[in-house]
Amino acid sequence: MKIKIIPLLFIILGFFTAYSSCGKEKYTITAAGSTAFQPFAEKLADQYMQLNQDTGVTIQGGGSAVGIQSALSGAADIGMADLVTLPPEAGSLSATVVARDGIAIIVNLKNKVGNLTLEQIQGIYSGVIKNWKTVGGNDHSITVVSREAGSGTRSSFEAIVKNISLTKEAIIQDSNGTVRETVINDANAVGYLSHGLVNDKIKQVSVNGVPCMTDEIIKGRYILVRPIFLLTKGAPKGKVKNLIDYILSSQGQETIKSSGLIPAK
């Protein structure tokens, strides 16, 4: 009997050991905020997790305001914000710039307008310029598409263009993706989004004669540009620091560049 029981005990112990090993929980990092940076953060997180299989990374959107509040409250390990200038409430957070991003002005492919001045953009979004004919387009009313309050893209756009009192007729969308889809489906729409999310279904117009292109952003010629911040409560440490360090590494920065954003360095 003893000869049969001992192997059985080893089998049982081996089963529980294997189960315990397979069921070992990963350390999880949560990042929340900027919807413009979200798809890029997801790509970087996937790469990081492949190299660090003991760590899980969850990326959530919500906008830059949510990113700041999530970092302040501790609801997220990392807050993501894409703002020209961080608000006073973010002053207690540790801020790391991991990329820069151009804000592209987009129109429908059927729109013949290829350039807008900053003054014209201000007039369109404030409702002063209501017809495309005024800026060299067809004789048709302009559909203004903007982001929601709390969006880092909107805050940066309005901070750079200046003196925008958003027209009440504007269509408000909650992400770069929905702005893009609205412009794709409306021949008379104008919107703005991260230049890394521009595709061949929309047309981006130059601003003050300068196209929203990587080279022009690097040269400092294209004006609608904002940094991407990763925010932490206190200096980043442990696994969170490892993730931020990876994003700032040559591999992480190459991913940012190849995805359409501008490296931080």
Q: Which residues of 141-164 are buried (b: 16+ CB within 10 A; e: fewer)?
A: ebbbbbbeebbbbbbbbbebbeeb
Question: What was the pLDDT predicted at 260?
Answer: 86
The answer to whether the CB of 195 falls within 8 A of the CB of 180 is no
- ∠74-80-83 over CA atoms, to 5°? 125
Cβ neighbours of 103 (radius 10 Å):
26
Q: Residue 251: pLDDT above 90?
A: yes
**Range 94-113 average pLDDT:** 97
- Structural domains present in the chain: 29-101+226-263 (3.40.190.10), 102-225 (3.40.190.10)
What mean pLDDT value characterizes the chain? 91
pLDDT digits (tens, 9 = 90+) for 52-92: 999 999 999 999 999 999 999 999 999 999 999 999 999 99
Rounded distance between C-alpha atoms, residue 62 and residue 49, angstroms: 23
CA pair distance 48, 40, nearest whole angstrom: 12
Q: Each residue of 174-197: pLDDT tens digit?
A: 999 999 999 999 999 999 999 989
**Can you tell me the distance from the alpha carbon of 85 to that of 88, in angstroms, rounded to the nearest whole number?**
9
The per-residue pLDDT for 265 is 72
2-11, 20-29, 157-166, 240-249: lowest mean pLDDT where? 2-11
Among residues 164, 193, 191, the alpha carbon closest in space to that of 176 is found at 193
pLDDT at residue 188 in the model: 98
Torsion angle, alpha carbons of 89, 33, 170, 134, to 10: 90
Q: What is the pLDDT of residue 24?
A: 58
∠ CA 13-15-18, nearest 5°, is 110
- Give the C-alpha separation, 215 to 118, whole Å: 20
So what's the pLDDT on residue 14?
A: 41
- Which pTM was predicted? 0.81
β partners of residue 103: 194
